[in-house]
Amino acid sequence: MSVQIDHLLTESRRFAPSPEFAAQATARPELYEDAAADRLKFWADQARDLLHWDTPFTKTLDWTNPPFATWFEDGALNVAYNCLDRHVLAGNGDRVALHWEGEPGDSRSITYAELTAEVKRAANVLIKLGVKAGDRVAIYLPMIPEAVIAMLAVARLGAVHSVIFGGFSAESLRSRIDDANAALVITADGGFRKGKASALKPAVDAALASGDSSVTNVLVVKRTGGDVEWNERDLWWHDELAAAPDEHVAQPFPAENPLFILYTSGTTGKPKGILHTSGGYLTQSAFTHKSVFDLKPETDVYWCTADVGWITGHSYVVYGPLANGATQVLFEGTPDSPHPGRWWEVIEKYKVTTLYTAPTAIRTFMKLGRQIPQEFDLSSLRLLGSVGEPINPEAWMWYREVIGNNLTPVVDTWWQTETGAIMVSALPGITVTKPGSAQVAIPGISIEVLDDDGNAVGGGEGGLLVVSEPWPAMLRGIWGDPERFKETYWDKFGDKYFAGDGARLDEDGDIWLLGRVDDVMNVSGHRLSTAEIESSLVAHPLTAEAAVVGAADETTGQAVVAFVIIKASQEDTASHEDVSAVLRAHVASQIGAIARPRQIFIVNELPKTRSGKIMRRLLRDVAEGREIGDTTTLADTSVMQIISGQVK
Ligand code: WTA
């Protein structure tokens, strides 16, 4: 970490907002003053300005029982009404909500009036299937408009969605369905990826094959037209929607009504169901979407490239932009198919003004070279955003120069599944930006950098990132596990939230993120747990023991590298190379392709302390080809020499 700190300390480039941008900026500098003067009043004002409340709230925050917060508790609203109906009623029904671009090049533009009608139909279908407020609905869909429609239909009924990323396996799907006791699954026959149809429905069938799940029906969107097996519980989405009325009056629900559960990796093997509720979540996602992305809803075309299976897709594809009445691009597919200029073609086609993506994508484009984006007209772009992992200054500069024509502000946004919405970011038109720094807490958010004992850390030293006051979009808990919620985030610093990230403050008070300090890896901006992959590896009959580390990777940020000891009884079974292929495939089928290790090293020993704890730090040195660090606390100091020999 110290190498990185030294490197970042020398970063001295600064970009002041241009006078033209500053003059038209949506965010005003007074936001900081207002929030500093009265933080709770600031958030109450945002909630009233940005949202429609059926019952106005009188109470802003209740923090009398930390870490369990309530925001706007006695108010009531309907989240879907806020994202849809009210824009139509305000005369903006003809505005495009979604410019959907399918992977094979098919496309569809959907106005707010059309989207509202579709969501009403879908809500009526869900009612017919017995979905009520509080019920959980699992959504396992590709990036098609139906994903957005399904989420909003569930929200409209006060029910709770659990979106599961389409790349997760049947087993991951099943454990999430079980954990939340979902009553219904909404899926598709498949989606398109890299020029090919890739099936989704078989994973749902496999997940439900044992027949003892809580799921009563599966609604199936027809996307690829591929063959599907049909079970009694299955219903076609298009048949059901065609038969449903497009009138549905949204009922208000309390501000603290659960909105969704989203599973994310933690430091143990079992993914956590992060719970978000309605009023506070929608307030902060709408506020940040508007001010961080300088939103001009009448003229902007916004594009967030995240999948709806991740938190970024929830807050900055669905809830933030739609609450603000924005026009956006929804994209199915990958950046490089059918050609490496596909994204830039989409930007040219829709005259995208605002692009929000991840550093891993930017680094991939850097490798391909600037000649590819330069073949397209990107002059519509006026703002660029980054999220998901630390962005190195070189990638930040390339993004600004090559994609942003040396003009556009770049905002690096730090936040998490748990925080629900952006917490740290420059505000365009106000902040003087620094390549590589996420910069400052947004107005109304309190961030500190502390050492292990809770003392403030300054002077460029690395410490732990902490949120010191509750915030509107904060997670309300881990589904079904209040103890784990307390232990994971709150036990360390009392009533302050421990994020799990390292950070430092520079002499201006700007925040530089330094990566995770726990056993969570970040691969292409996706969170993976070392423990989860280890437990998948040891579940295989060949494996005796396994240790997983996140090794630095030029493109993906980190890569999964595993060290595996084969059971003595299995040693003859296969050559080492085969074993590694078998185990990589095993992890992909158990968890999902995103978790497949880049490399698996077969070793005879793992480095352990005298108390038996695996020293991952040393394995990371091996995986990154570095000289091995201090081994004096190992039970057997010769182990690392043996391992290095075996890895070479
Ligand atoms: C990392 C994604 C540095 C961080 C929104 C965090 C970042 C984890 C940034 C959350 C950033 C996210 N700079 N690191 N701008 N944004 N991270 O839950 O380690 O998928 O804890 O949420 O990603 O990942 P998650």
Residue numbering of the annotated binding site for ATP: 388-390, 412-417, 501, 516, 527
Q: How far apart are CA 150 and CA 139, in angstroms?
A: 8
Name the closest-CA residue to atom 1, ligand 1. Answer: 389
Give the percent of the chain with pLDDT over 90: 84
Q: Is the pLDDT of residue 2 over 70?
A: no
pLDDT of residue 1: 42
Confidence tier at 460 by pLDDT (50, 70, 90): confident
Name the closest-CA residue to atom 4, ligand 1.
Answer: 389
User: What are residue 117's phi and psi, to 5 degrees?
Assistant: -65, -40
Mean pLDDT lowest for which of 39-53, 345-359, 360-374, 515-529? 515-529
Is residue 521 in contact with ligand 1, taking CB distance under 6 Å? no
Q: Hey, what are 250's tokens? A: 């949204």
263 within ligand 1 shell (Cβ under 6 A): no
Digit-coded pLDDT (tens) for 218-253: 999 999 999 999 999 999 999 999 999 999 999 999
CA dist., res. 187 & res. 224, Å (int): 12
pLDDT tops 50 at residue 3: no
For a mutational test of ligand 1's pocket, the pick from 310, 504, 522, i.e. the residue with the most ligand atoms closer than 8 A to its C-beta, is 522
Range name among 108-122, 269-283, 541-555, 571-585 with the lowest pLDDT average:
571-585
Give yes or no for residue 378 having a pLDDT over 50: yes
Give distance in angstroms: CA of 390 to centre of ligand 1: 8
CATH architecture of 524-647: 2-Layer Sandwich (3.30)
Position 450 pLDDT exceeds 90: yes
What is the dihedral sign for C-alpha 440, 445, 451, 455?
positive
What does the domain layout of the chain look like in residue ranges?
524-647
Find the helix packing angle between 170-180 and 576-590, rounded to 10°: 40
pLDDT at res. 637: 82
Ligand 1 touching residue 392 (CB < 6 A): no
Find out whether 13 and 434 touch, Cβ atoms under 8 Å. Answer: yes
- Give the model confidence (pLDDT) of 111-150 as tens digits: 999 999 999 999 999 999 999 999 999 999 999 999 999 9
Weakest-pLDDT range from 20-29, 146-155, 318-327, 568-577: 568-577
Q: Which amino acid is at 246?
A: D
Predicted confidence at residue 569, as pLDDT, reads 84
Nearest C-alpha to atom 25 of ligand 1 is from which residue? 416
List the structure tokens of 52.
């429609």
CA dihedral 283→286→291→293, nearest 10 degrees, is: 150
- DSSP of 51-66: S--SB--S--EEEEET
Substitution site in 360, 439, 513, 520 for ligand 1 pocket (most atoms within 8 Å of beta carbon): 513
Contacts of 342 (CB under 8 A, 6+ apart): 333, 334, 335, 336
- Is ligand 1 within 6 A of the CB of residue 396? no
Has the ipTM of the complex gone over 0.85? Answer: yes
Is residue 153 over pLDDT 70?
Answer: yes
**8 A C-beta contact, residue 551 and residue 558:** yes
**Share of residues in the chain with pLDDT > 70 (%):** 98
- Write down the mean pLDDT value for the chain: 94
Report the pLDDT value the prediction gives residue 590, as an integer from 0 to 100.
92
Say if residue 476's pLDDT is above 80.
Answer: yes
Residue 91 is given by DSSP the state I
Instruction: Determine if the peptide bond prior to 338 is cis (ω within 30°).
Output: yes
> Structure pTM?
0.93
Q: How far is CA 137 from CA 187, 269, 328, in A?
A: 11, 24, 25
Q: How confident is the model at residue 423 (pLDDT cuts 50, 70, 90)?
A: very high
- Crossing angle (nearest 10°) for helices 30-37 and 39-50: 120
CA nearest ligand 1 atom 22, residue: 416
Report whether residue 414 contacts ligand 1, using a CB cutoff of 6 Å. yes
CB–CB of 201/187 below 8 Å?
A: yes
Cβ of 571: how many Cβ atoms within 10 Å? 13
Task: Give the residue ranges of the annotated binding site for CoA.
Answer: 193-196, 312, 524
225: Cα within 13 Å, side-chain hemisphere = 1
What is the model's pLDDT at position 438?
A: 97
State residue 301's pLDDT score: 98
Q: Which of 165, 386, 412, 415 to mutate to test the pocket of ligand 1 (most atoms within 8 A of CB)?
A: 415
Do the beta carbons of residue 279 and residue 44 sit within 8 Å? Answer: no
For the stretch 158-215, pLDDT in tens is 999 999 999 999 999 999 999 999 999 999 999 999 999 999 999 999 999 998 999 9
pLDDT band for position 577 (cuts 50, 70, 90): low
**Any ligand 1 atom below 6 A from CB of 151:** no
Strands 196-199 and 190-193: antiparallel
